[in-house]
Structure 1
Amino acid sequence: MPIPRSVPGVDRSLLRDDVFRRLRDAIVDGTFLPGEQLKDADLAEWLGVSRTPVREALLRLGASGLVVAVPGRSTTVSAIDPKAVRDARDVVAAMHVLVAREMAGNLSDADVARMREANDRFARAVSAGDTAAALDADDELHAIPVSVLGNRAIESVLDQFGPVVRRAERERFAAGGQDTIERHERLIQLLAGGDAERASELTFEIWHSLPAERTTPPG
């Protein structure tokens, strides 16, 4: 397994969640490809931590479906499976629909402004062909109403299944995202205007616009 050399290690004082997020993001952004074997000793060296938090992170990633672990043998990055993506997408969509219904008319002007700024960055990233930046901006935009609502159960579900959807979304944003820019702006307007029904419907449409028919074969 080739280990990137350009990424600084995790500060030893950071929590296990930081190790999990680093490994999760490395899978989502394609640093570790489907079918690639993940060795806890190599990962621990890369991140500058002990093997224990790495093993715990791999267990969590297995629960999310991002890795496949064979006890006593190996852990590999999972393929992008259409059914797994559809299942995760449906769950993630349902959570965001709940958030839209609750937060319509309940976002502050500052919250709305942050969502618009995130969409502006998303648009610039799409125009520049920067898929990673587009994913980051898209994630930030949708995370704002989730964070403001403060429902820990919803946040936990999104933390588990969101990365499965994000990994598949890379293909969509790599092919462009002009339609998503426009949907984002309409969603922001509906949330700001307090139209819970239409905001919920559009949120459902946004998340179900993600195609899940293709698989990424192990590499």
Structure 2
Amino acid sequence: MGPFYDEEKARTLMLESGYAMKEDAGRGWRRVVPSPEPMQIVQLPAIRKLVESGALLICVGGGGIPVLRSRDGSLSGTAAVIDKDLAAARLALDIGADALLVLTDVPGACLDYRGPNERALGTVTAAEMRGHMAAGQFASGSMGPKVEACLRIADAGGVGIIASLTAVSEAVAGRAGTRIVPDEALCAEPEWVCSSTLVTWKALAGLGRCRT
């Protein structure tokens, strides 16, 4: 997390501040912090009321600001990065959404991505998708968290969709993207939580009732 540093500055920070630093793909050195599981959305009561009023919300952008709750109920900030897709799933589950729409810069999830046998996935059950995950089909730093987020929705009886930002209407209608459904049945008339991930813009794009 944070800015990039040259190696000399990074080693100075490690000595003086106790930071863990790591070289990041040839772009420089950055601070390394934990990425804990999102357990609760602090503003959930207010979010729920706004959703029920029909408002379109933008929340948990970039995963949200990580805080710790002490035994006396007070909150304090902590150095961590919360995965945005898992935060979106947490929010969707907490408000009782029927579907999670994860928007990205590719048409959907693929098997053998960028390989000679690449194959796009359409509608798959949660059990099928878990089998693909166990086989290492989805990278941990990119598609993996998106699939995991959608699986959590499917496990709760909802539908998780991974699709391109340019194909939102088609994805909602079931004509584009990857749909991860419960092993039993689909949900009808979904209330959507939409998470948007572009190459450089990573934020929750919308929350509310999206209709086409």
State the TM-score, normalizing by the size of structure 1.
0.31
User: Larger % of strand: which?
Assistant: 2
Higher RCO, 1 or 2 (CA under 8 Å, sep at least 6)? Answer: 1
User: Larger % of helix: which?
Assistant: 1
State the TM-score, normalizing by the size of structure 2.
0.31
